[in-house]
Amino acid sequence: MPDLRNTVREAEGPFQRLLQSIPGFDGYREREIRRAADKVLRDYLVNLVDEARERLRGFISDQTRAGRFGALDELDRLAGQLTKLRDNIRLADYGYTGFFDAVKIKEAELDRMYEYDLSLRDQIGAIQKAVSELASAGEDDRAGRIETVGSGITRVQEMLRERGAVTASLVA
């Protein structure tokens, strides 16, 4: 995945580039670029979670049509956890402070949040893989695969809580 900060910078129009000449505005602009890149990245992460959730829902439908109801409660619980994970990523704090706000989050801190969000991508990829393996697992393997998906979701939720604590400490 390309560095989205550069992509956002390249997409700016002439007006944004003109604003660079205003003293003090360039630092604000750089923070906004980092925030925009973080939002784009988190939207991408939400899409990855949605893909895993849809794959799981498809598997649940297949199990229901086949009359295999044994693990449906656990599978439904996982689908609910994926929905909650999606919402937590989507609603995570951007680390935003406006141009005239008294509290300013520095570029290095925003970069740390962006790098942290990149690490979430790897963890969500592991969840996607675990869901795919669950969908192709046999009856004997299913319980272990359900546990793997659940552990992955828990790990990402913990990472999001840690991210929230870091964000809160930046503006405290």
**Single-letter code of the amino acid located at 130:** A
Check if the beta carbon of residue 34 is closer than 8 Å to that of residue 5.
yes
Check if the beta carbon of residue 120 is closer than 8 Å to that of residue 86.
no
Q: How many CB atoms lie within 10 A of CB 21?
A: 8
**Single-letter code of the amino acid located at 9:** R
How confident is the model at residue 30, as a pLDDT?
Answer: 66
Q: How many CB atoms lie within 10 A of CB 166?
A: 15
Enter the tokens of residue 126.
Answer: 């592991």
pLDDT in tens, 72-97: 999 999 999 999 999 999 887 654 44
Q: Among residues 67, 79, 92, 71, which one has the least CA distance to residue 157?
A: 92
Alpha helix stretches (DSSP H) within 11-106: 14-19, 25-65, 72-90
Check if the beta carbon of residue 111 is closer than 8 Å to that of residue 37.
no
How confident is the model at residue 50, as a pLDDT?
Answer: 97
Q: Among residues 119, 109, 120, 117, which one has the least CA distance to residue 172?
A: 109
Out of 2.40.50, 1.20.1410, 1.10.287, 1.10.375, which CATH number does the structure's domain 41-171 have? Answer: 1.20.1410
How confident is the model at residue 116, as a pLDDT?
Answer: 80
Locate the domains of the chain by residue range.
41-171
Task: List, for the chain, all residue ranges whose pLDDT scores fall below the cut of 70.
Answer: 1-31, 34, 93-107, 110, 169-172
